[in-house]
Amino acid sequence: MEEYGGGDLLSEAMGSAARVVVVEDCVEAPGAFVLHLLLKRALASGGAAAFLALAQPFSHYDRVLRKMGCNLSLHRRNERLHFFELLGFPGGAREGTIADRFVQLYNEIQRLVEANRTGENAGQFTVIIDDASLLEIVALGSVNDVLDFLHYCFALTSEMNCTLVVLIHEDIYADEENIGLLLHLRYIADLVIKAAPLSTGLAADVHGQLSVVNKGTFGEQRAKAQKVWNFHFKVKENGADFFYPGTRH
């Protein structure tokens, strides 16, 4: 992920060059706003994105991002945003097995990434999945098929120099028997951004706290490069504010 500046704590904590970003949230502290910020940034400065939407239709994201100063409809028309509405994925039995549908989806994403590399407007490409928890549900519980698909997308980050961003709901994986998908995403992530409720309870001017684990991106240097940032956030219509505890005026 490029460093986008702006002086906010999230940008500073993320740093630069992360290839895989995992956003974890829970019912008490939804992390969709982080995904919206990352989508806006992915489309900035000539970037392009493939957005795999399982949680909401296009109209929802378009409405939210428009308040943030980002016109998704325009980016879609200009083929900067490639939107996959997967609310009905993987479709009926006539369309093939779940594994077949995942292969078809991956092939389409790979084609877009390759086209973005060679086109006259080539730039950074980001694949965003909203969200992995629903991807597992529409795969009828086939975790292996989901893991295979994520592995293919992960391979693109090194082979095609693109970025993968995935949202997942941590609280639905409390059962240790079903935690495999969450652990896999944490393992491959360069950045883990976790939204959680305030430990002190609800507050009018603070909506929750973010923990950003920056694991670094350089092989044997990963352990040395790891940094953990903790700060609060307040979600607004046009974005979000980030601040350290006790600094909110």
What does the pLDDT read at residue 91?
58
Residue range 9-243 in CATH 3.30.1540.20: no
Looking from the CA of 134 toward its CB, the CA atoms found within 13 Å total 16
13 — pLDDT class (breaks 50, 70, 90) = confident
Q: Is the pLDDT at 180 greater than 70, yes or no?
A: yes
Cα–Cα distances in angstroms (integers) from residue 72 to residues 59, 82, 84, 100, in the given order: 9, 10, 13, 30
Cα–Cα distances in angstroms (integers) from residue 139 to residues 16, 25, 61, 97, 130, in the given order: 33, 21, 23, 10, 14
When the pLDDT of each residue in the chain is averaged and rounded to a whole number, the result is: 86
Lowest mean pLDDT among 85-94, 99-108, 127-136, 204-213: 85-94
What does the pLDDT read at residue 1?
38
Q: Is the pLDDT at 149 greater than 60, yes or no?
A: yes
Q: Is the pLDDT at 220 greater than 60, yes or no?
A: no
Query: Greater confidence, 196 or 13?
Result: 196
Lowest mean pLDDT among 1-10, 177-186, 201-210: 1-10
Query: Greater confidence, 130 or 248?
Result: 130
Helix 32-42 × helix 58-67 angle, to 10°? 80
Distance from C-alpha of 94 to C-alpha of 136, rounded to nearest angstrom: 20
